[in-house]
Amino acid sequence: MSNQQPTELFTVHGEPIIGPTGRPKHEFPEPPPLEGHGPARTIAMVNQKGGVGKTTSAINLGAALAEQGRRVLMVDFDPQAALSAGLGTNPHELEVSVYNVMMEREVTTQQAILSTHVEGVDLLPANIDLSAAEVQLVNEVAREQVLDRALRAVRDDYDVIIIDCQPSLGLLTVNALTAAHGVIIPLVAEFFALRAVALLVDTIEKVQDRLNPDLVIDGVLATMVDPRTLHSKEVISRIVEAFDDKVFETVIKRTVKFPDATVAAEPITSYAQKHEGAKAYRTLVRELISRGGAP
């Protein structure tokens, strides 16, 4: 990837320290401040399996990017609207959502965007209406590109756009992949989670072939890791075997602080600023920027 910054190995007595992915651990530099804003790089957070920490990762990645002075737009693309709720919005009270932007020509993207209580982070919210879009899009012309058109209108206002996809590989997810420059795959460190990934990679490759040749996998993010268990270690080594250097060095460990922060409708970076979980997402942002996955 482009924009790669030099990283240094962590060493003790000249020997590299091995990180949780079983590879030498690097120290990712603090990213330089941006000289201006936009156009945004769009990242889709995708896994067709639910409960893998996708929305949690989207919220905390967005908040940690904003801490680095990046302007971030979070796009809730799941009818369950967990992202909208997690950023303090009541999905049932929305007058305009991403559904209206996509399906009603007179509604602009700007009309639907909300400010959030997280500085530097805006939200394009969703609610249950979005579930109808899957059916209605079937008859649309260029149905896979509807979200891309909607986001193009605001791309210059942001540095990063993060799309939180629903846990399926239907037409909404294909829209997200068509609109994105990169994909982050959150993967829970459990064996059964690995089995579904082949289907996801197949979908990504079809989108690359037919709709979005510039799409890349930015990285695979191991979530809910319990470093004390052999099971977690074995699964991570399998993930590294399958995805090699696409696996982020940064892993997200299991902790009760994440559900607590969700209940408080806050990212962990502000809910528990000094917690290991908050530090992990800040490290992930440095790694993502070092890899060229974000400006």
Specify the pLDDT at position 9.
63
In three-state secondary structure terms, 185 is: strand
Q: C-alpha angle with apex 39: 34 to 43, nearest 5 degrees?
A: 95
Which contacts (CB < 8 Å, 24+ apart) does range 196-204 have? 196/47, 196/48, 196/49, 197/47, 197/242, 199/48, 199/169, 200/46, 200/47, 200/48, 200/169, 203/169, 203/173, 203/174, 203/177, 204/46, 204/177
Q: What is the pLDDT of residues 207-223, one digit of tens each?
A: 999 999 999 999 999 98
CB 170 within 8 A of CB 136: no
- Taken in order of first residue, the domains within the chain and their CATH numbers are 8-290 (3.40.50.300)
Mark the ranges of the chain whose per-residue pLDDT is less than 50.
1-3, 6
Which pLDDT belongs to residue 158? 97
Q: Give me the pLDDT at residue 3, please.
A: 45
> What per-residue confidence (pLDDT) applies to 11?
61
pLDDT for position 209: 96
Q: What is the pLDDT of residue 175?
A: 96
- pLDDT in the model for residue 140: 84
Question: Counting Cβ atoms within 10 Å, is residue 79 exposed (0-12), middle (13-18) or buried (19+)?
Answer: buried
Q: How confident is the model at residue 2, as a pLDDT?
A: 39
